[in-house]
Amino acid sequence: MMNPSLNLMDLEELTSNAKQIQEDVLEEILTLNANTEYLHRFLHGSSDKVLFKKNVPVVTYDDVKPYIERVANGEPSDVISGGPITMFLRSTGTSGGKQKVFPVNDKYIEKLGYVIALRSLAMSKHFDSGGEQGKAMEFHCTKPPSETPSGLPRDEVVRVGAAFAFVLVRAIDFLEKHWKELCSNIRSGHVSEWITDLEGRNAVSTILRGPDPILADVIEQECSHKSWEGIITRLWPKAKYIDCIITGQMAQYIPMLEFYSNKLPIVSTTYGSSESTFGMNMDPLCKPQDTSYTCAPNISYFEFLPVDHKGDMASIVDLVDVKLGCYYEPVVTNYFGLHRYLIGDILQVTGFYNNTPQFRFVHRKNVVLSVRSEITTEEDILKALNHVGLVLESSDLMLMGFTCYADISTFPGHYVFYWELKAKDVQDVFELEEKVMVKCCSLLEESFDEVYRKNRSKDECIGPLEIRVVQQGTFDSLMEYFISQGGSIAQYKTPICINSSEALAVLENKVLARFFSEKSPPLDS
Ligand code: AMP
């Protein structure tokens, strides 16, 4: 998939000529797709770019779904795409929407390969020897992880990663539960019988190549420590960095990964979606919280709708015309049949790499909590959780999973958070201290905005915030519920806010204790 001829000059050229490259991409897409049934409705066979901007509407998934479904059901690709559709990608729908299916073809793989090659270039600027001379330990969930325990080649791994931070945390958690069995398998050279996936068994057996009591002893020694602090660096001592997406809703896993890795750099290399790969991080060693993604202008045609557009679709701008500091929703036109499609993410412009804008991922558009007039976004929720980090840390607790919803079934409505907690020291059974939990409720409320606090304190139209602590394993059950609805575990992201009653029922069945904020949050003076 790598493009071997790519070098740093290509990167400079790509980012210096963003305007022209975007023009060319649009021209190519329109020439390819002008006669599709979808585009013909608006352009009548023309591939004129001005007409495209004037006539083709900005759409959401529901607008294009019938066309996509027709192709998925066997009608020819040219209902939506000039080129052949050879594959459909399914989004999980857990990043704040519903499940969606998107058409692609081999060009998608080609473009993805290009971005991966660019990403490697960006990394090689920052890590000696590209950080790649050695092996990578990547966790890919293609089946339920309980079926895919991995071998541990200790001295060669220079990078530990997964697509999303969540998968990595889950892999460590899985190892924590199963390391004894893993060591016994390595010692005997035999994979446990309950692992029935044949390909998984064969792959592990090929790595094992028979009994390895020395490796089993080494792993056992590290895993039997009371604390799993630094377990990643202890198991893979040559690991230089962690490679996984850590922005957006994945930011909640920063403290956990820092704990498990003794604060190795966490590198969030790419931002993309089933609709289009978007860009890569040109400053991989920055703090996870400061990550920005530089748009790759040759992947798709990108436009940007200002967040405060107030219905004025004419305010949409081209990639190179976005303004520093402003907030936008990306609108993508790709090679496979999406034209002026709203992705549903909110991004902020943080700078420019040559002439190409860089963006910070802010939040998913529809992920908000609201009881009254307040709007609490995904970003607000993650910030609030950051606030309670210190309290949890001083109580030796880790937040393994959370989600929330606005309960408006009673008056006044209130925010409910579901938390799965775990003791930092693996062998400790944690006890919930009422005082600590109530403090967490208050801290969350204090960090919400003035509108929330006013509604809560003065007008009393929002009730005390509640934390419901759930049993360990609850967020695994939640994931299993979502995966059972279709979608891939590799793309799964625990929803920040839940609105499906079935998903709420999964959580409600596992509630151990409830805590409420005891005092109203202060107002700004
Ligand atoms: P999916 O189409 O299921 O793969 O989900 C794509 C969505 O995941 C994007 O629209 C974003 O909301 C989220 N996502 C992907 N990459 C990142 C990233 N680097 N940072 C934050 N969110 C991301």
For residue 340, the one-letter residue type is: R
Q: Quick one: 348 and 407 in the same domain?
A: no
Query: For 493-513, what is each residue's pLDDT tens digit?
Result: 888 999 888 999 999 999 999
Q: What pLDDT was estimated at residue 430?
A: 73
Q: How far is C-alpha 205 from the chain's CA centre?
A: 32
Q: Quick one: 374 and 503 in the same domain?
A: yes
Asked whether 269 lines ligand 1 (CB < 6 A), one says no
Q: Quick one: 380 and 484 in the same domain?
A: yes
Asked whether 271 lines ligand 1 (CB < 6 A), one says yes
Asked whether 95 lines ligand 1 (CB < 6 A), one says yes
144 vs 267 pLDDT, higher one: 267
Q: Quick one: 404 and 454 in the same domain?
A: yes
Q: Quick one: 354 and 373 in the same domain?
A: no
Q: Which pTM value belongs to this model?
A: 0.81
Ligand 1 atom with the shortest distance to the CA of 343: 10
| 480 belongs to a structural domain | yes
Q: Which of 340, 364, 388 is the last residue of a domain?
A: 364
| 295 belongs to a structural domain | yes
Asked whether 247 lines ligand 1 (CB < 6 A), one says yes
Find where tokens 């202008």 sit: 297
Of 100-114, 120-134, 291-305, 406-420, minimum mean pLDDT range: 120-134
The number of beta carbons lying within 10 Å of the beta carbon of residue 174 is: 18
pLDDT of 147 > 50? The answer is no
Q: What pLDDT was estimated at residue 363?
A: 85
Considering the chain, what percentage of its residues have pLDDT values greater than 90?
53
| 346 belongs to a structural domain | yes
Question: How much distance in Å is there from the Cα of 273 to the middle of ligand 1?
Answer: 5
| 76 belongs to a structural domain | yes
Q: Quick one: 372 and 512 in the same domain?
A: yes
CATH for 73? 3.40.50.12780
| 484 belongs to a structural domain | yes
24 vs 9 pLDDT, higher one: 24
Q: Which of 302, 329, 364 is the last residue of a domain?
A: 364
Q: Report the C-alpha gap between 37 and 432 in whole angstroms.
A: 60
Find where tokens 């993410």 sit: 345
- Ligand 1 atom 22: residue of nearest CA: 248
| 121 belongs to a structural domain | no
Phi, psi for residue 513 in degrees, rounded to 5: -160, 155
Q: Quick one: 313 and 373 in the same domain?
A: no
pLDDT of 111 > 70? The answer is yes
CB 279 within 8 A of CB 293: yes
Tokens, residue 130: 């590209």
Ligand 1 atom with the shortest distance to the CA of 93: 3
Length of the chain: 525
190-217: burial string, b at 16+ Cβ within 10 Å, e else: ebeeebebeebbeebeeebeeebeebbe
Q: What pLDDT was estimated at residue 85?
A: 85
Q: Count CA atoms within 13 Å of residue 175 on its CB side.
A: 21
- Ligand 1 atom 16: residue of nearest CA: 271
Q: For a substitution probing ligand 1, which of 345, 359, 363, 367 has the most ligand atoms within 8 Å of its CB?
A: 345
Pick the closest to residue 345 from 247, 253, 251 (CA basis): 247
Question: How much distance in Å is there from the Cα of 487 to the middle of ligand 1?
Answer: 14
Query: For 27-72, what is each residue's pLDDT tens digit?
Result: 999 999 999 999 999 999 999 999 999 999 999 999 999 999 888 8
Q: Quick one: 512 and 411 in the same domain?
A: yes
Q: Quick one: 324 and 398 in the same domain?
A: no
Q: What pLDDT was estimated at residue 150?
A: 33
Question: How much distance in Å is there from the Cα of 381 to the middle of ligand 1?
Answer: 17
Average pLDDT, the chain: 87
- What is the domain range of residue 324? 8-109+269-364
Whether omega before 84 lies within 30 degrees of 0, making that bond cis, reads no
Q: Which of 364, 381, 397 is the last residue of a domain?
A: 364
pLDDT of 99 > 70? The answer is no
Question: How much distance in Å is there from the Cα of 450 to the middle of ligand 1?
Answer: 29
pLDDT of 155 > 80? The answer is no
Q: For a substitution probing ligand 1, which of 101, 266, 269, 271 has the most ligand atoms within 8 Å of its CB?
A: 271
Q: Quick one: 313 and 375 in the same domain?
A: no
Q: What pLDDT was estimated at residue 4?
A: 47
CB 465 within 8 A of CB 444: yes
pLDDT of 492 > 90? The answer is no
Which of 233-237, 251-255, 492-496, 511-515 ranks highest by mean pLDDT? Answer: 511-515
Q: Quick one: 382 and 339 in the same domain?
A: no
| 281 belongs to a structural domain | yes
Q: How confident is the model at residue 143 (pLDDT cuts 50, 70, 90)?
A: very low
Q: How confident is the model at residue 304 (pLDDT cuts 50, 70, 90)?
A: very high
- Ligand 1 atom 18: residue of nearest CA: 271
CB 178 within 8 A of CB 155: no
Number of domains in the chain: 2
Find where tokens 């023009």 sit: 23
| 408 belongs to a structural domain | yes
- Ligand 1 atom 7: residue of nearest CA: 273
Question: How much distance in Å is there from the Cα of 451 to the middle of ligand 1?
Answer: 29
Of 10-24, 390-404, 438-452, 474-488, minimum mean pLDDT range: 474-488
Compute, in degrees rounded to 10, the torsion defined by CA atoms 314, 319, 491, 86.
90
- Concatenate the DSSP letters of all residues of 353-378 into one string: ETTEEEEEEEEETT-EE-SSS--EEH
Q: Quick one: 433 and 478 in the same domain?
A: yes
Question: How much distance in Å is there from the Cα of 351 to the middle of ligand 1?
Answer: 21
383-401: burial string, b at 16+ Cβ within 10 Å, e else: ebbbebeeebeebebbbbb
508 vs 373 pLDDT, higher one: 508
